[in-house]
Every structure is written in C-alpha cells, then in structure tokens.
Amino acid sequence: MIYLDNHATTACDPRVVAAMIPFFSEGYGNASSPHGFGQAAAAAVDAAQAQVATLLGGEPEEIVFTSGATESNNLALLGAARRHEQRGGTRRRLVTTAIEHKSVLAPLEHLAELGWDLVYLPIDETGRVRLDQARELITEETLLVSVQAANSEIGTIQPIAELAELAHTRGALMHCDASQAIGKIALGVTQLGVDLLSLSGHKMYGPKGIGALWIRGGGLQLPLIPLMYGGGHAGGLRSGTLPVPLIVGLGVASELAAEQLASENQRTAALRDEFEKHLCEELASIVVNGAREQRLPNNTSLTFTGLDAEALLANLPEVVASTGAACESGSVEPSRVLLAIGLSREHAFSTVRFGLGRFTTAEEMRTAAGLLIAAYWQLALLLA
C-alpha cells in the first residue's frame, strides 16, 4: 500500500513512539503532583515545551498544550473575542478566508451568529489572499485576522507576514492555523509577526490527541478567555491533567522536524515534481491546482479532466489518496476550496489530493504514477 494522504494524518515516527513509551508505564506521574514521580513528569513537559518553542522560534512559556489544532483554533478565536468583549472593547470585525479549515470557520461563524461582523478576504485563482483587497477589508474596526499558513487541499502558502503587518497597523491581532505547514516549511513566529499560532501533533509525525497554541508573550501578556474551567492548569487557560506521553511525543516530533526540515523539504519537493512531470507528460488533460511556487513541498492537487475522482481512486486500491480534506469527507458537495479558486463543480469532482511524507520513497512515487496512468486509461476507455 502506498500512502499519499499525509495531509489527513501522518505516521507516528518510531523515534517519537520510543520516547513516549516510558511515560505510559514507568514515568507515569501526574505533572502537577509535588512528589518525585510528578516532578519527573513536569520536567518532561518543560522539555517538550522548549522543543516546540525552538521549532517555532518562540519561548517555552508561550506554549500551551491542547488536544490538537481544532482546540487551539477555538481557544485562540473564541478566547480573544470573548476577552475583548469582557473588557468592553468595541471592535466587532473578524477577518478570515473562505478556504480555512472548519475548525477556524466554525467558531468564527458562531461569533457571527452572536452579532460579530465576519468578513472573508478574497483569494486569487491559486488560493492566495489578494493583499490589495485585504488592505481595504482589514479596518480599524477589526479585532482579529485569522489566515492559515498553507491550505490542506491545494498546498498554497499564504503571505502571513504581510497580513500580520497589515493587521497590526490597524491595531488587530493576527492568528495563524499552521497545522498543515509546520515541519514542511520554515515558520518562525518572529518572522511571521503573528500573535497566535496553532499546530497539531499528528500532522508532523507526532501522536494524535495533542497540539499546541503559541501565544505571543504568554497567556498573561495576551490573555484569552478559556474554553474549559477546572484545576487552573496552564495559568488557568487550559485546565486538565496533562497527557505527558503525548506531550513528550509532540516535543520529539518538533525536534525532529526542526532537524530535518531543509532536507525533507528538498526531498519531498523533488519527488512531487517528478510525479507531476510524469503524469502530465502521459495525461495531457491533467491540471495542477493552486500555486506552483508558493505551495507546500509535499502537496499536489490534480484534476483528471473528464473522470470522477472517486471512481479513479476506487480503481486504485494500492494507492491511498483523497479528494479533499479529511474533516469534510463524505460530503456530497464538491470541495469548497476548489470552487473558491474558480474550478467548476465538474472539475472539482475530478480532483485528487496527493500528500507525500517523510516515509514516502522514490520507488513508491514511480509505482503510484504508473498505477494512476493505467487506472486513468481504463476508466477513460469505459467512458468512451
């Protein structure tokens, strides 16, 4: 089986698993307990905070561990809006794009139902935000701008630094959902200029069920209203007993990502480019979606004109890929991301997303290309 759905999730790196195992059965103390077991667990949490912070170019105290990017996004967006409201703030505009992950759009839409002004930034045919129009839509009434670092379907990388600068000139906060981009491209919070950044462990060869929210200056410097109340963990921002094994796993995954970023970026981009080249030479009807340069190195979104993507994948049992984001699988509607960049419904239904990963080999990509070409022609002949 050739796994090319690394946007949906990644395999847990064996080195991550090895680091986690002792904390399930040996160092299993509660990190909040004062005794030796607890202190050993707390030290492991501190080490993981430092590892995640190093990957982002931030400080350990700026890292709040969550259950994943969905919780991080909700905490950032709802937390900032509710805090502003609690303090009597008058800004009511929230700015995002229509191609964000549902865990960004859903909380923002919830706030819109409560009377907030939700504005969507226009994007071009590659999925990039139109900065000229962003300058008009991000106004002095804006509290928060939330734009993803890179899209999970077409891989397009957004101009986050420019958007953050624009937001700050209007006195607004900048949040970035970086879950698809972390470990794939360099993302330093200082260079990006963001105030809040979300990430998820299982998108970067770490375990599922763990993520983090980076908060500029920490929770005291940029206070948020918590989503949950309890024992006051993480300075009261995220109550609950810390899942030490998962946190250790995220820390090691972050360290590995930092160490291997440049080499993995180069290797996966080369494999992706060769895969696209081979397919486009053999199948003239293929269209590559999204930005060709400003995109994730492991991503390719291909439209197989005239064929149904689900039927194509059904005839390709040896290759694991998808027609869109995992959180929206099973939808009878075409991808909203593809429609937003101008694809017709027919072409959207003919599109497959391929996501390469750390463990993808050159041989697998050559084999996958051959199998795709054979399946394409088999279906094309049936439809002729």
With CA atoms as reference, report the closest residue to 61 among 72, 52, 69.
52
206 Cα distance to chain centroid = 13
Beta partners for residue 142, in sequence order:
93
Q: Determine which helix (DSSP H) or strand (DSSP E) holds 299, and give its type and residue range.
A: strand 299-304
C-alpha distances in Å from residue 195, one per residue of 77, 156, 367: 11, 21, 43
CA distance 3 to 16: 19
Burial class (CB in 10 A: 0-12, 13-18, 19+), 61: middle
Burial class (CB in 10 A: 0-12, 13-18, 19+), 113: exposed
| Residue type, position 206, single letter | G
176 belongs to the catalytic site: no
**Catalytic residue of the set 12, 176, 280, 327:** 327
C-alpha triplet 69, 75, 76: angle, nearest 5°:
90
Our separate counts of H helices and E strands in the chain read 13, 12
Any idea which residues carry the catalytic annotation?
327
